């Protein structure tokens, strides 16, 4: 486990930071966590208001109380579709949606999320009930910074949301103010399976339009 960052190049790093969901329970040193959060807060926010708070949870009791809500969220959205999504006739690597291996990884994390040594909740006080379409824009860039900085230290994670099936209960367990919203739950830990590989995406030429919506170009 490196306590100094891997000097991976910026582009190389962002091309090789997939979601990591098989995480050891090995603790992450606190000074490394500070480094990761220091990189996170370099992310953008509207008017540089930095409306956020970053709640770091390591207490096994808090994690144990929230983990069942997370499994329930997973069960409702993906667990119920297990047979369909793992069906042998289904394309194991569809162009969009979960591949078979990702499905299994999501399922694994759902059952083991409490083992991840650190959970980071990116929180926006004042955001509960907001209809502002730009809301997430003021925190998700910073969340991605967090994941990229983690990658430099050999630490994996993923932005997750299944805890939101019990948002009020989670907020109460975390002691959040009434008007605050968790914008995700990011489990962090040293990966035990998988690798730093380029995330699979739809072909670029299919999703990039030039001058007017729908006008594609071949990449030169």
Instruction: Check if the beta carbon of residue 32 is closer than 8 Å to that of residue 153.
Output: yes
- Pair 152, 50: CB distance under 8 Å: no
Q: How far is the CB of 23 from ligand FMN (least distance, A)?
A: 11
Write down the least CB distance from residue 140 to ligand FMN, Å.
Answer: 8
Cα angle for residues 146, 117, 156 (degrees, 5° grid): 40
Return the residue nearest ligand FMN (CB atom).
Answer: 18
**Comparison of 29 and 85: residue with beta carbon closer to ligand FMN:** 85
Contacts to ligand FMN by CB under 6 A:
18-19, 21, 102, 106, 109, 158-162, 199-200
The separation between CA 8 and the C-alpha centre of its own chain, rounded to angstroms, equals 21
Closer by beta carbon to ligand FMN, 27 or else 136: 136
Of the pair 138, 160, the CB lying nearest ligand FMN is at 160
Please name the residues in contact with 139: beta carbons below 8 A apart, sequence gap of 6 or more.
Answer: 43, 45, 51, 52, 122, 124, 183
* Residue among 2 and 94 whose Cβ is closer to ligand FMN: 94
Q: Which is nearer to ligand FMN, 193 or 217 (CB)?
A: 193
**What is d(CA 21, CA 105) in angstroms, rounded to the nearest whole number?**
6
Taking the complex as a whole, the smallest distance from the CB of residue 170 to ligand FMN amounts, in Å, to 13
Least separation in angstroms between CB 137 and ligand FMN: 13
Write the DSSP string, 2-52. Answer: -SS-----HHHHHTS------B--PPPPHHHHHHHHHHHTTS--GGG----
CB of 196 to ligand FMN, least distance (A): 11
């Amino acid at each position: 486990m490196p306590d100094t960052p891997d000097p991976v190049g910026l582009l190389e790093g962002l091309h090789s930071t997939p979601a990591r969901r098989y995480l050891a329970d090995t603790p992450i040193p606190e000074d490394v966590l500070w480094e990761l959060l220091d990189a996170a807060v370099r992310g953008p926010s509207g008017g540089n208001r930095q409306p956020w708070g970053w709640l770091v949870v390591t207490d096994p009791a808090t994690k144990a109380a929230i983990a069942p809500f997370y499994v329930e969220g997973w069960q409702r959205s993906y667990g119920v579709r297990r047979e369909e999504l793992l069906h042998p006739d289904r394309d194991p690597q569809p162009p969009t949606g979960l591949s078979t291996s990702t499905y299994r990884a999501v399922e694994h994390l759902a059952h083991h999320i409490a083992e991840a040594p650190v959970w980071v909740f990116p929180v926006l006080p004042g955001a509960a009930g907001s209809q502002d379409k730009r809301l997430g824009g003021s925190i998700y860039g910073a969340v991605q910074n967090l994941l990229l900085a983690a990658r430099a230290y050999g630490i994996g994670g993923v932005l997750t949301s299944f805890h939101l099936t019990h948002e009020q209960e989670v907020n109460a367990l975390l002691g959040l103010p009434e008007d605050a919203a968790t914008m995700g739950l990011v489990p962090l830990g040293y990966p035990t399976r998988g690798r730093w590989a380029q995330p699979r995406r739809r072909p670029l030429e299919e999703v990039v339009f030039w001058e007017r919506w729908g006008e594609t170009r071949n990449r030169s």
